[in-house]
Amino acid sequence: MIINLIIVLVLAVILLTIWLNFRHNDVKWSDRKIDIAKLDFPRDFLWGAATSAYQVEGACDQNDWSVWERSFAENANPRIKGGQKPGLAADHWNRYRNDIDLLRQMGGNAYRFSVEWSKVCPGPGVWDRRVIDHYIEKCAYLNENGAKPFVTLHHFTIPAWLFERGGFEHPDSVNYFSDFVYKMAEALGPYVDYWATINEPAVYAMMGWVRGIFPPGKQDPGLAARVLNNLLKAHFQAYHAIHETDQSDADGDGVPCKVGIVKNITIFDPARKWWLPDWVGAKILHHLFNQSVLEAFLTDRFAFNLKNIVNFSQKIPGLSDTLDWIGLNYYTQYLCKPDRKSDFKIKMYPSQKAAQTDMGWAVYPAGLYRALQMIRLPGVPIYITENGIATEDETLRQDFILKHVEAIREAMLDSCDVRGYFYRSLLDNFEWVEGFDKRFGLYHVDFETQKRTLKDGAQIYKEIIHARGHKK
Ligand code: BGC
């Protein structure tokens, strides 16, 4: 009897292993030569580049990151590599006209950037008119020069005064954010049709409240869930605030505003395809980073669960009606396996078979195809709001851009409704805790002289755009 049971168990394990090994979690991807002329994209597809205020503008000295720059971890190390501070960063605040010209010279017809909440609103209820006018001028300049502004309202930073009050941990943050959104929609509405409410809510919550390497540097998954829930509520209110306020059709397509959220998708795969615990690890991370937010937009319920660690579920009625488009930020894939010492007890690491970026991320273009399939929601167009590579190897950058653009085309042929692509970053920038060393830019920036130079690896992006007939 016992022997029979053992035989059945062993057979079951063997069968499971074989089944797992053949379970399809990848897409067939051939490394063929790509002919730029034959990459067929619709004429109105947007070709752009992205930045964010803290990373390029300079003089962001009233937000939570300016506090973070001056603080130290428990081991006495500075929070940012080598104690670097962004200072003037790429001085985009003063040089935005030149930078927009640089984008236009590549043929780019859309620009994603963020407005710095702490500059617009340096104290509760205090609005800086000079800053608001600056952003109005920037959006006007974009329109005059044939580039659509895509404005992000929250890109990882909050005003220092709100940071002191608990930031997005605190439910009041939702109303503070919506006051800011009303102000921006009122001021920029005549120039802007595309609004992104929140950049990468799950990454923001994980970095600040699970890994503890972004402000406020906590490690508490329960709080991370609350923060994420508040961010989704903030999105909900912002969506309605913009629709109420922005009634002017800036680009003449008959629609005054289109509001979306920007979602990062990371591909999590089992390290060993034949080993069930690795599949479980990948699935857990996929739930926490990717699915929890996407499902909230399908079900009006935000659920963030991990056995014995966090169990959060709350309804956000009407959330599923708040996406006119969705932004996808895609960078990489991680392999996963159980590991007691890692966050959530799952180790994630890049495949050694792939080329790696200076961030230590695997280059995995098939992942963009998979991410696009994952993020599609019924009737919601997709913009790729970020994709790019930190490298000093310009052949690798060229290859990266070409292969990722091809992956988009493949996804579109398989009925993904993709409307635009933004390479990130337009310029080398201040890469959060990594500081200035990781160079993502299409343009190299000499941070001493602020000189910009188009990188060799970025030429291909220009060629792709020009081949589609878009020239300055
Ligand atoms: C963020 C960018 C960041 C990039 C690369 C994304 O999470 O939106 O601001 O620079 O990843 O780290």
pLDDT in tens, 131-186: 999 999 999 999 999 999 999 999 999 999 999 999 999 999 999 999 999 999 99
Give percent above pLDDT 90 in the chain.
Answer: 89
Nearest atom in ligand 1 to the alpha carbon of residue 431 is 10
Query: Of 393, 342, 389, nearest to 364 (Cα)?
Result: 389
Cα of 140 vs centre of ligand 1, distance in Å, is 26
Give percent above pLDDT 70 in the chain.
Answer: 99
- For 17-67, write each residue's pLDDT tens digit: 777 777 766 777 777 788 898 888 999 999 999 999 999 999 999 999 999
Is the model more confident about 207 or about 5? Answer: 207
C-beta of residue 359 within 8 angstroms of C-beta of residue 390: yes
Query: Span 218-243, mean pLDDT?
Result: 98
Q: Which tokens belong to 28? A: 């067939």
Nearest atom in ligand 1 to the alpha carbon of residue 434 is 12
Residue 95 lies in a domain: yes
Residue 28 lies in a domain: no
Q: Is 385 in the pocket of ligand 1 (CB under 6 A)?
A: no
Q: Is 431 in the pocket of ligand 1 (CB under 6 A)?
A: yes
How confident is the model at residue 337, as a pLDDT? 98
Residue 471 lies in a domain: no
Residue 147 lies in a domain: yes
**End-to-end Cα spacing for the chain:** 79
Residue 383 lies in a domain: yes
CATH number of the domain enclosing 317: 3.20.20.80
Indicate the helix (H) or strand (E) that contains 452.
strand 451-454
Q: Is 200 in the pocket of ligand 1 (CB under 6 A)?
A: yes
Total domain count, the chain: 1
Cα of 15 vs centre of ligand 1, distance in Å, is 41
Cα of 10 vs centre of ligand 1, distance in Å, is 46
Residue 26 lies in a domain: no
* pTM of the predicted model over 0.95: yes
Cα of 397 vs its chain's centroid, Å: 19
Q: Is 445 in the pocket of ligand 1 (CB under 6 A)?
A: no
Residue 10 lies in a domain: no
Host domain of residue 101:
36-466
How confident is the model at residue 24, as a pLDDT? 66
Nearest atom in ligand 1 to the alpha carbon of residue 359 is 12
How confident is the model at residue 23, as a pLDDT? 73
Residue 281 lies in a domain: yes
Q: Is 203 in the pocket of ligand 1 (CB under 6 A)?
A: yes
